[in-house]
A and B are shown apart, each in its own frame.
Chain A
Amino acid sequence: MKKIKLILLALLLLIPFNVKAIVPPMSDFYVNDYANVLSSETEEYIIDQSKKLAAVDGTQIVVVTVPDLDGEEIEDYAHELFKSYGIGDSQKNNGLLLLLALEERLMRIEVGDGLEGILPDGKTGRFQDEYMIPYFSEDDFDKGMKNGYDAFYSEIVKLNNLDIDYSEPTMPSSDISYSFAEKFAFFVFIGVFGFIIGVNMGISMGPFTKKHKPLGYTIDIILNLIILLCFSAPAIPFILGFIFGLQEGMKHPYRTRYGSVRNRYYDSGSSFSFGGSSSSGGGGHSSGGGSTRHF
């Protein structure tokens, strides 16, 4: 009887070791968006990039988001996740875990032993401060996670001298950051502006054949030149537009040919991916290194 009691007691003592309500890895392994905060483009991007990296030297970067931590400390939760997923190669221990807990508003980076050299705790904290938290504090989890992922990815690729394409993260230091489309629209606008002035000037100069010009012609040109100088900063699109406009205007009677602008920087869509094989952890180990941030 006494022995049975002892065994029961031992079993009870074992329970706290095993009851850990961590989320299981999803089929794609590299992205486990349980909190549902990532866009499908970001998920695909991360899965693609992580697969490429793992194919080169076994480094595995895994992103996990959870709605809440179920009362656990994020450090324990992250370590438990790292261990049970087995992130990284079992010999090189080159795994990296990015864990976001939505309700607690916590972000943790857990670093496998093999990556501690290039990603010391202090650096992982700085990367969070610089590349992730500014977005997270505005509830832009998708952008923050992608940007942070890029930061760690590019650091690993660069410092390990790997031959893979990577994208640099953006540093959201200034509050105003224009997207590429916005910048493009701005330049088109300036170009059109220059074009109109050019047309204006061209008309006043008249066709090439006219030999004698009235006084108004000189004044017009000077006025237009002053306006031109005022926009010297974004000068290139302006001047280009101006020259085109001038040519058009001098053809008089002019035929406006505002051609449609086509964005040439479209994605070529040649991303490389491995056919359907689902990934899994390589059995990497972490000693609990990394950093935690509240946002």
Chain B
Amino acid sequence: MKKTKNVILIILLVVVIFIVGVVASGVGAYNSIVGSEENVNKALSNIDTQLQRRADLIPNLVNTVKGYMKHEQDIIDSITEARQNLVNASTLEDKDQANKALTDAINQLYIVVENYPDLKANTNFIALQDEIAGSENRVAVARKDYNEAVNNYNTMIKRFPNNLIASMFGFESKEYFQADSDANEVPEVSFD
């Protein structure tokens, strides 16, 4: 009698230890998934910050350029409009689209600047050009960091046993930020 009681007790103990182990590792996995998701969110809001920073530079640019360019109102208007779209955009996709439009408009401006040597040599304008190029690069870096964070997160929730926890608590894989579409697109060449 005593012997069987002991055996049952040992089995019970093993089961309890096993359950405790599983729960503990489950909690650990859950926490690391949450942490990883938090990194993704942080990277995402960082893109937002950098886009905002970029938008903030534009009024300064427009004011500097205005005094020199009397005949390029179209370009100045298109920059102002693109900036307004960027500020008003709510989703990240919209913001990215608006940011691209803004880049195009600014590039248009840089082309016509060649006709205004005084503006081109203006130290304030040169500094603004650097600030804008810097903000562009910061957006690119923030985007790359985001993709890296998403990559970490996605691989984490697919790995065993994390995938069990992930499906139990409804963690879904996240989408990558698409690379610059115009940078990757092969230009169409027609021969007709």
Q: Which residues in A have some Cβ–Cβ distance to B below 8 Å?
A: 10, 14, 17, 75, 79, 120-126, 129, 286-292
Contact = CB atoms under 8 A, between A and B. Distances in A.
Contacts of B50: 287
Given A17-B148, A121-B133, A126-B123, A288 B128 contact: no
Contact of A75 (B140, B142, B151): B140
A60 to B, nearest CB: 19
Contact of A288 (B123, B138, B151): B138
Contacts, number: 51
B35 interface: no
A126 B123 CA distance: 8
Name the prevailing secondary structure of the B interface residues: helix
B141 A79 contact: yes
A168 to B, nearest CB: 20
A123 B135 CA distance: 14
Contact of A126 (B126, B134, B138, B140): B126
B126 A289 contact: no
A287 B42 CA distance: 14
B141 A288 contact: yes
A125 B125 CA distance: 11
B138 A123 contact: no
Given A17-B148, A123-B127, A125-B126, A292 B133 contact: yes
B131 interface: yes
A129 B133 CA distance: 16
Nearest 10 pairs between A and B by C-beta?
Answer: A122-B127, A121-B134, A288-B141, A125-B130, A288-B137, A291-B130, A121-B130, A288-B138, A122-B130, A121-B131
Contact of B134 (A14, A17, A129, A290): A290
B138 A124 contact: no
